[in-house]
Structure formats: C-alpha cells, structure tokens
Structure 1
Amino acid sequence: PNSQECILQLDVWSVHQFVQFHTWLDKHYPWIKDCFVPGGCTGIAHPCNVGIQCQFKLAAKWVQHTNIIEESLEFLQ
C-alpha cells in the first residue's frame, strides 16, 4: 500500500552522512526511512555484506589491484 514505509539500514560511511544525500532521499523516496548501523556492527546488521557481497568486493579489489600493477609496469617500460 501507498502508506507502507521501509527501513534502509546504512553503514556509518561518509557519503551516507551528507545532508545532500538525506535531502535527495527524502525528496525522491519519502517512504524510505534511513537508520545507521553503529560502527563495528556491520557483520551483525548486514550479514550479506559479510557473506555474499564480500566475495564481490574481493573480486573488484583484485581487478583494481591488477590494473594498477599493469599500468605501473607499462609506465616503467
């Protein structure tokens, strides 16, 4: 129903704390209520962040690291 609200749990990450972000969220998605997960509690409040997304994040870091190494080696040659 139109009156139903949802909760968006956010890490205490700098971009999530910007006033501009909250203004945008309130303007475009007024039914979404945000709340912050205290630092150090991500594994408890966001189990997917630790389990499922962790694998994706590790793969992304590996690709970025590989690109940096390749670019550095090309620059040195």
Structure 2
Amino acid sequence: MDGDDWRTALRLEIEKAVDDAVIAGGTQSDIFAEILSEVDRLRAALERDPDPAEDDTDEIGEPSNDWPSAEP
C-alpha cells in the first residue's frame, strides 16, 4: 500500500467490524467502547513485548509436547 492507503483499508475494516457487531446485537456506543478497550490492551501488550514473533520458546522454557497426556 502506498501513502495513506493503509489508513483507508484500516478505516474500512473498522467500519465493517462495527457494522457486523451492530448486526450481531451490539450498540454502537458499546462497540466503540470495546474497540477503545482493545486498543488499550494492544498498546499494553506492545509495551511488554514489542515483537512477540522473535520470542524463543526454548528460552522461555515452555514445553511443546512434554506433557504425559501428549504421549501416544
């Protein structure tokens, strides 16, 4: 996307999400409040870990299939 194209695409996606949520029964004021709450959550997550894709799960110490129930 060039220039402000990403802004236009984002605006359209937000409009669609709001429309879908209204159709599902939400009120616009509740939907807008939830969007703002989600933006706050995303900002907080970004402050904690700016690039979670770079996390090394071995370094974190999370087992992948080391649980007894994962055994065949």
TM-score, normalised via structure 1 length: 0.33
Structure in which a larger fraction of residues adopt strand: 1
TM-score, normalised via structure 2 length: 0.35
Q: Which has the higher contact order (CA 8 A, sep 6+)?
A: 1
Structure in which a larger fraction of residues adopt helix: 2
